[in-house]
């Protein structure tokens, strides 16, 4: 079985982030990741990571104004997008977070493509930490710039930066493209992080259309060495949703 990271954007949302980190450690997770930790004092987050010994695998750039899902691919928003990148990198470096997911936003077309490339090039030049991009499915994020893994691969190829990688979320890939295991094996050389949730309801990985024991076994066979992210919505208390992990 792979090792697992608790995505604290969805798990233990009832707790302050430092307490959620400690809860993840008690539950047996090997790492943690989050969405937008910026309101938490760095010292508090560092203390929780030190107390538990868990690494923080990733965080996101802020989404921007209400209704936005990132600014990085929005033409004319370059300065604002770079400011969000600077904030995320600064917080990541202060907490030794390994990767920054740069959110693209709601945009389409050649100008959006160029804007996203410019923001990503800026991000990659500011840090040696991993810069992640993630396609989001059209059901959950209609109009999001990054629509599928093929588009993401083309962007990474055009970017040509050694620290830019793909966030392969099994949930989003399955809802958009299907053929999950084939896509996983094909894209492995450019993947920087893997996440998962049940399809189609984004619940725990113990039901739905995807047989996650088979997916986890395939990830093992591929030799993936890092914890993979449990980014699902628990139907109730997080502790009551963890039978899938205990069974493993």
Annotated catalytic residue 134: yes
Helix 42-52 to helix 78-95 angle (10° resolution) is 40
Annotated catalytic residue 66: no
Residue carrying the six token digits 């949730």: 197
pLDDT at res. 248 = 53
User: Whole domain around residue 190: which residue ranges?
Assistant: 4-247
pLDDT at res. 2 = 87
Question: What's the chain's length in residues?
Answer: 248
Q: How many domains does the chain have?
A: 1
Residues 6+ positions from 26 with CB-CB distance below 8 Å: none
Residue by residue, pLDDT tens for the chain (248 residues) are 789 999 999 999 999 999 999 999 999 999 999 999 999 999 999 999 999 999 999 999 999 998 899 999 999 999 999 999 999 999 999 999 999 999 999 999 999 999 999 999 999 999 999 999 999 999 999 999 999 999 999 999 999 999 999 999 999 999 999 899 999 999 999 999 999 999 999 999 999 999 999 999 999 999 999 999 999 999 999 999 999 997 65
Q: Find the catalytic residue in 87, 214, 231, 239.
A: 231
Residue carrying the six token digits 């792979």: 2
State pTM to two decimals. Answer: 0.97
Q: Find the catalytic residue in 134, 209, 239, 240.
A: 134
- Alpha carbons within 13 angstroms on the beta-carbon side of residue 23 total 18
**Alpha carbons 119 and 115: distance in angstroms, whole number:** 6
Phi and psi of 9, rounded to 5°?
Answer: -75, -25
The sign of the dihedral angle between the CA atoms of 66, 71, 73, 77 is positive
Q: What is the CATH number of the domain that holds 71?
A: 3.20.20.150
- Alpha carbons within 13 angstroms on the beta-carbon side of residue 204 total 16
Which runs of E-coded beta strand occur in the chain?
4-7, 31-33, 58-60, 99-101, 130-133, 164-169, 191-196, 228-230
**Alpha carbons 12 and 209: distance in angstroms, whole number:** 25
């Amino acid at each position: 079985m792979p090792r697992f990271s608790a995505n604290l954007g969805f798990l233990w949302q009832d707790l302050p982030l430092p307490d959620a980190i400690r809860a993840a450690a008690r539950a047996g997770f090997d790492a943690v990741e989050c969405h937008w930790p910026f309101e938490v004092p760095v010292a508090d987050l560092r203390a929780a990571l030190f107390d538990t010994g868990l690494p923080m695998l990733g965080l996101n750039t802020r989404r921007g104004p209400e209704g936005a899902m990132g600014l990085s691919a929005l033409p004319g928003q370059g300065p604002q997008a770079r400011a969000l990148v600077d904030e995320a990198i600064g917080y990541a470096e202060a907490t030794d977070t390994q990767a920054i997911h740069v959110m693209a936003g709601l945009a389409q077309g050649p100008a959006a493509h160029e804007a996203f490339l410019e923001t990503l090039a800026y991000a990659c030049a500011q840090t040696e930490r991993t810069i992640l991009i993630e396609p989001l499915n059209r059901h959950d994020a209609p109009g999001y710039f990054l629509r599928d893994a093929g588009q993401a691969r083309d962007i990474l190829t055009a970017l040509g930066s050694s620290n830019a990688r793909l966030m392969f979320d099994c949930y989003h890939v399955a809802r958009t493209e299907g053929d999950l295991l084939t896509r996983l094996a094909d894209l492995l050389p450019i993947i920087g992080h893997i996440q998962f949730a049940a399809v189609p309801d984004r619940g725990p990985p113990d039901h739905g259309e995807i047989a996650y024991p088979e997916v986890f076994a395939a990830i093992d066979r591929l030799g993936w060495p890092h914890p993979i992210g449990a980014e699902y919505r628990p139907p109730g208390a997080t502790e009551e949703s963890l039978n899938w992990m205990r069974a493993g």
